[in-house]
Amino acid sequence: MRYAAIVDRLANEGARAWDIHDRALAHRERGRDVVVLSIGDPDFDTPRGVVDAMIERVRGGDTHYGWIDGGPDLKAAIAAYRERHSGQRVGPENISVTLGAQGGLYGAAMCVAQRGDEVIVPQPAYVTYESVVRATGATMVDAPLRAERGFHLDAADIEAAVTPATRAVMINTPHNPTGAAYGRGDLLALAEVCKAHDLWLISDEVYSRTLFDAREHVSPATLPGMAERTVAVDSLSKSHAMTGWRVGWTVGPEAFTRHMYHLGLALHYGPPTFIQSAAAAAFAGDFPEVDAMRARYEARRDLVREALAGNRRLRVVKPEGACFMMLDIRPSGLSSHDFSHRLLEDAGVSLLAGEGFGAGGAGFVRLSLTASDADLAEAVRRIDRFTRALDA
């Protein structure tokens, strides 16, 4: 039997990046002591008040069909949060609730790109971006995020990649996998490129609550002339340890939101009502757990940097946000794939190979800060021993 061409477009290198993670879980199931740092699932619990709100709504019978793209209470809560957090004033007509940020990214790409278009994505990039772009039939075009710039965006590299077929640029800040947080200057320069070439900007901001060293989050939609061409994607997954709840949203022009409604009607027919109610509670409450998680990630970043500071076989790239950090393993003499596979087999630690995030990740591996302090400290000891043994 014949399958549609889209299934081949989705089976790409980004999807294969998870092979090392799957192998690590298989080792664990067989009883081996493995520290898993290959996935960004917070090791914290969802705030109790959010859980209680969800349970109360389920017990009250709120388990039936609901609003396709988010109920009025949740949209109002998101709009208020958006204004507090970024300074952008929006209404319900600008907001579409999705199944996680991944649902928002997929929807945004489907609404603005199609076959024959090009979407510029700075590399390295999160592993699903290629699938999201290729699902639309469009072509993903790489632009480099240079290690010597701390993986910060250079608008000149974006502009050099623009062709008559370019339709959109997709960015992520703070950035997964590198932890780079784009400053106002980075984004102002990018905004000028988007306006000059009439491009959409899809801005993945899921780590905007996880910034280090008192940095300020800047959303491109708040810059002059950008609100009408920017789709911001966000979620509660990382900020509130709600990865399994699958609550995300997009903020964009009113016409874009109407298109997202029709896509949601065809795709999922609306997020669960009791989950939407709990998400509204997450915005309404001032949960100290959110700031505590950010502080723990920052402390863990410093733990890894200090522990590996004297290792001459790798270099730690200091992240400015998110819950990941990159290790430059080029001094080890191993490729990223060889390093990650040998580290798992020889030392029992799983990290993702940088090539899984695109060509710009070659020579690097990604380490997640979402394990406990004790597990992270043990993993770093193993990484240090593993790389020092390469000298032998």
What pTM, to 2 d.p., does this model score?
0.93
Q: What is the pLDDT of residue 13?
A: 61
How far apart are alpha carbons 258 and 26 in whole angstroms?
43
d(CA 241, CA 93): 27
The one-letter amino acid code at 57 reads: R
d(CA 274, CA 211): 30
Distance linking the first and last C-alpha atoms of the chain: 54
Kindly tell me the sign of the dihedral angle through the C-alpha atoms of 32, 127, 50, 297: positive
d(CA 218, CA 187): 8
- Dist. CA 142–CA 131, nearest whole Å: 14
What is the topology classification, in CATH, of domain 6-45+288-389? Aspartate Aminotransferase, domain 1 (3.90.1150)
Interior angle at CA 374, CA 372 and CA 376, nearest 5? 65
Q: What is the rounded distance in angstroms from the CA atom of residue 211 to the CA atom of residue 297?
A: 9
Number of H helices, E strands in the chain: 14, 13
Residue 3, pLDDT score: 83
* pLDDT value for 365: 96
SS3 272: coil
Q: Give me the phi and psi of 230, to 5 degrees please.
A: -115, 135
The structural domains of the chain, with segments of one domain joined by +, span: 6-45+288-389, 50-284
The pLDDT tens digits for 165-179 are: 999 999 999 999 999
Flag residues of the chain having pLDDT under 70.
Answer: 12-17, 392
Q: In terms of DSSP bridges, do strands 352-353 and 364-368 run parallel, antiparallel, or are they unpaired?
A: antiparallel
Q: What is the pLDDT of residue 20?
A: 85
Q: 185: which residues sit within 8 A by CB, 6+ positions away?
A: none
pLDDT of residue 15: 58
CA atoms within 13 A on the CB side of 165: 13
* Tokens describing residue 140: 């993903």
What is the dotted CATH code of the domain comprising 50-284?
Answer: 3.40.640.10
H helix or E strand, kind and range, residue 28 = helix 19-29
Residues 30, 45, 292: CA angle, nearest 5 degrees: 120
Residue 237 is which amino acid? S
Helix (H) or strand (E) holding 283: helix 273-284
Q: What is the pLDDT of residues 55-67, one digit of tens each?
A: 999 999 999 999 9
